Amino acid sequence: MSIKTEVFDVAIVGAGFAGMYMLHRLRQMGLTAIVFEAGDDVGGTWYWNRYPGARCDAESLAYSFSFSPELEQEWEWSERYAPQPEILAYARHVSERFDLRRDIHFETRVTSAHYQDDSLNWHLETDKGHSVVANFCVMATGCLSVPQLPDIPGVQDFKGNFYQASMWPHDPVSFKGQRVGIIGTGSSGIQAIPVIAEEADHLTVFQRTPNFSVPAKNEPLDQNWVDEFKKHYRAHRENHKVGNGSGFGDLNIEPREGPIEPVLRSQLTDEEATQILEDAWESGGARFMGAIGDQLMNEEANRFAMEFVHRKIHETVKDQETANLLCPTNHPIGTRRICVDTDYYETYNRKNVSLVSVKDNPIEKITEHGVMVNGEVTELDTLVLATGFDAMTGALLNIDIRGKEGLLLSDKWHAGPRSYLGIAVSDFPNLFTITGPGSPSVLSNMLVSIEQHVEWMIDCLTHMKKKDLKVIEAQPQAEDRWVSHVNDVANMTLFPKGGSWYLGANVKGKPRIFMPYAAGVGAYREVCDEVTAKDYEGFTFH
């Protein structure tokens, strides 16, 4: 049977926030677009990651779309950090409000995307047999959308209940009366552990590397505060876009004027620095990492913050041996994504929770009945994996993407991702990546970064339409310059010392390259705007 090929202006892969917003803007431009999504609903991250305790670590009023003043006024968030079901409900609301679903093919995975040298367009195929030709292909495949299973022997042998944080079932899961084990103490594990501990008979946490976590200080939102904040929403949104920060904004009702001037460690006495950290700890959230302006640049400032958190762990956790195990010492604070928790350290004071360090004695295997460490099996009814993602490049390289003359993206990126601005790749004309490697992406409030990328791409497509240009391609020299700039910026920070998924360090055989751009969302936006102003400097059109 021959497959009918459909033709569109743009094909989009992924229907998380990035794919949804791209579709909306393309429609406004009058272009035809089709979206393919592997899941059976919109929402991406918030569709897949339904584990107990999942919520955002950016404040709800900042972690939301800003493109529609009506949408931001009408949507009501219930808590300072929205829980996963509420963010998913928001994504669904957006899809309905802007009538997006009719162009999205759910439960459909794009398997290949090939550039056609003769017709100068993209040919995509899916696992459901679609064949689509589009002038442009937009990858909205997500930075954290490919679950990473640990290479522990026997994972498939476990006979009890088995869950992965990033592929959580749709139906409710009960831990009542059960012996539960969890592997993974990154952001996902740290959010899930306190909630599972509340319900399980016993919870055993298998920890290889402790992570730094700061209290979220989550709470229900006060309606008066929300009403006042929303009166200034536009100005707050503008603030999220500027400076060298990460787009998280602040909680002040009155919008600040211009970017925050960082206070450096060298300008502070020990007492002043401690007080600043104490205030940040008390007000809660990831903003702790920016409390002292050079915490992520200066080893001494970082050590000061590390020791502060170590003290907090020791003050919170009663058993000092457990507290010691929970204190990270192998990476500067913040060089692995800072975790934001509710009662994480407090959970280790519960009688039904035990911590097993598998740092020096790695998990040998998973058996039918539990997890074996040091020859001993901890018997479990339920095993939860929160072992992370093949981040940033995983979803792109899972697709057979071929550019000019059949060049495979996986070959081009064999030594690590190379991209101009994290938006485009030389030799892959008319292909855009939303929050691709080389852009602030995972170091930022992702909604801010997604909107900025989509808007830049829409401006570019509008320019091409106006000038009747068919093809845009990143120049290899511009790409080289950008890649080395991204590396230079990373090397000015402590990030490369983190050994984290930012570097690909959690995936065996993955090249070690610091993938996101660390200069902040404002600085990055300025670069992108300058590229546009200079007639798309670094790109070639024809």
Q: What residues make contact with ligand FAD under the rule CB under 6 A?
A: 13-19, 36-39, 44-45, 47, 49, 54, 56-58, 63, 109-110, 140-145, 188, 395, 399, 434-435, 445-446, 450
Q: How far is CA 11 from CA 380, 404, 420, in A?
A: 45, 18, 21
Cα 80 from chain centroid? 19
Tokens found for residue 292: 């002292």
Kindly state whether residue 273 participates in binding ligand NAP, applying the rule CB under 6 A: no
Are the C-beta atoms of residues 387 and 184 closer than 8 Å to each other?
A: yes
The string of DSSP codes covering 256-317 is PSSPPPPPPGGGS-HHHHHHHHHHHHHH-SGGGGGSSTTTTT-HHHHHHHHHHHHHHHHHH-
Tokens found for residue 168: 């959580």
506 makes contact, choosing from ligand FAD, ligand NAP, none, with CB < 5 to 8 Å by partner type, with: ligand NAP
Kindly state whether residue 498 participates in binding ligand NAP, applying the rule CB under 6 A: no
- Which among 122-130, 206-214, 271-279, 310-318 is the span making contact with ligand NAP, rule CB under 6 A? 206-214
Give the nearer residue to ligand FAD in terms of CB position, either 370 or 504: 504
- For 386-534, list the strands marked E by DSSP: 400-402, 431-433, 472-474
Of the residues 202, 241, 310, 337, which one makes contact with ligand NAP according to CB under 6 A: 337
Give the nearer residue to ligand FAD in terms of CB position, either 137 or 464: 137
B/e letters for 217-244, b = 16+ CB within 10 Å, e = fewer, are: ebeebeeeebeebeeeeeebbebbbbbb
Of the residues 39, 150, 160, 255, which one makes contact with ligand NAP according to CB under 6 A: 150
Give the nearer residue to ligand FAD in terms of CB position, either 20 or 519: 20
277 makes contact, choosing from ligand FAD, ligand NAP, none, with CB < 5 to 8 Å by partner type, with: none
Give the nearer residue to ligand FAD in terms of CB position, either 124 or 325: 124
Query: Least Å distance between CB 367 and ligand NAP?
Result: 15
Q: For residues 443 and 435, give the distance between their C-alpha atoms in angstroms, rounded to a whole number.
A: 10
- What is the signed CA dihedral for 307, 308, 311, 313, rounded to 10 degrees? -100
Binding track, positions 355-394, relative to ligand NAP; x by CB under 6 A = ---x----x----------------------xxxx-----
Q: Tokens 């959010």: give the residue.
A: 191
Of the residues 52, 181, 184, 290, which one makes contact with ligand NAP according to CB under 6 A: 184
**CA angle in degrees (0–180, nearest 5) for 81-82-84:** 130
Query: Least Å distance between CB 376 and ligand NAP?
Result: 16
Q: What phi and psi, each to the nearest 5 degrees, are found at residue 51?
A: -65, 155
- Which among 72-80, 182-190, 314-322, 451-459 is the span making contact with ligand NAP, rule CB under 6 A? 182-190
Query: Least Å distance between CB 529 and ligand FAD?
Result: 21
Query: Least Å distance between CB 515 and ligand FAD?
Result: 14
Q: Tokens 């590229």: give the residue.
A: 531
Type of residue numbered 277: L
Terminal CA-CA length for the chain: 37
388 makes contact, choosing from ligand FAD, ligand NAP, none, with CB < 5 to 8 Å by partner type, with: ligand NAP
Type of residue numbered 395: A
How would you classify the pairing of strands 110-116 and 370-373?
A: unpaired
110 makes contact, choosing from ligand NAP, ligand FAD, none, with CB < 5 to 8 Å by partner type, with: ligand FAD
Nearest of 381, 520, 539 to residue 440 by alpha carbon: 520
Are the C-beta atoms of residues 497 and 331 closer than 8 Å to each other?
A: yes
Kindly state whether residue 191 participates in binding ligand NAP, applying the rule CB under 6 A: yes
Are the C-beta atoms of residues 240 and 67 closer than 8 Å to each other?
A: no
Q: For residues 25 and 110, give the distance between their C-alpha atoms in angstroms, rounded to a whole number.
A: 22
Kindly state whether residue 56 participates in binding ligand NAP, applying the rule CB under 6 A: yes
Kindly state whether residue 188 participates in binding ligand NAP, applying the rule CB under 6 A: yes
- Which among 18-26, 202-210, 242-250, 524-532 is the span making contact with ligand NAP, rule CB under 6 A? 202-210
Kindly state whether residue 334 participates in binding ligand NAP, applying the rule CB under 6 A: no
What is the DSSP-derived secondary structure letter of residue 486?
H
Give the nearer residue to ligand FAD in terms of CB position, either 15 or 152: 15
208 makes contact, choosing from ligand FAD, ligand NAP, none, with CB < 5 to 8 Å by partner type, with: ligand NAP
Give the nearer residue to ligand FAD in terms of CB position, either 168 or 206: 168
Q: What phi and psi, each to the nearest 5 degrees, are found at residue 413?
A: -100, 25
Give Dmax over CA atoms of the chain in angstroms. 76
Kindly state whether residue 144 participates in binding ligand NAP, applying the rule CB under 6 A: yes
463 makes contact, choosing from ligand FAD, ligand NAP, none, with CB < 5 to 8 Å by partner type, with: none
184 makes contact, choosing from ligand NAP, ligand FAD, none, with CB < 5 to 8 Å by partner type, with: ligand NAP
Give the nearer residue to ligand NAP in terms of CB position, either 31 or 140: 140
193 makes contact, choosing from ligand FAD, ligand NAP, none, with CB < 5 to 8 Å by partner type, with: none
Tokens found for residue 467: 């000038």
Query: Least Å distance between CB 403 and ligand FAD?
Result: 17
Give the nearer residue to ligand NAP in terms of CB position, either 429 or 516: 516
Nearest of 454, 449, 407, 451 to residue 429 by alpha carbon: 407
Rounded to a whole number of angstroms, the CA Rg of the chain reads 23
209 makes contact, choosing from ligand NAP, ligand FAD, none, with CB < 5 to 8 Å by partner type, with: ligand NAP
Kindly state whether residue 249 participates in binding ligand NAP, applying the rule CB under 6 A: no
Of the residues 506, 515, 521, 528, which one makes contact with ligand NAP according to CB under 6 A: 506
Q: Tokens 């909680």: give the residue.
A: 251
Tokens found for residue 130: 């679609």
358 makes contact, choosing from ligand NAP, ligand FAD, none, with CB < 5 to 8 Å by partner type, with: ligand NAP
What is the DSSP-derived secondary structure letter of residue 221?
P
Q: For residues 158 and 236, give the distance between their C-alpha atoms in angstroms, rounded to a whole number.
A: 49
Q: Which stretches of the chain bind ligand NAP, using CB under 6 A?
A: 56-57, 144, 150, 152, 183-189, 191, 206, 208-209, 337, 340, 358, 363, 386-389, 442, 501, 506
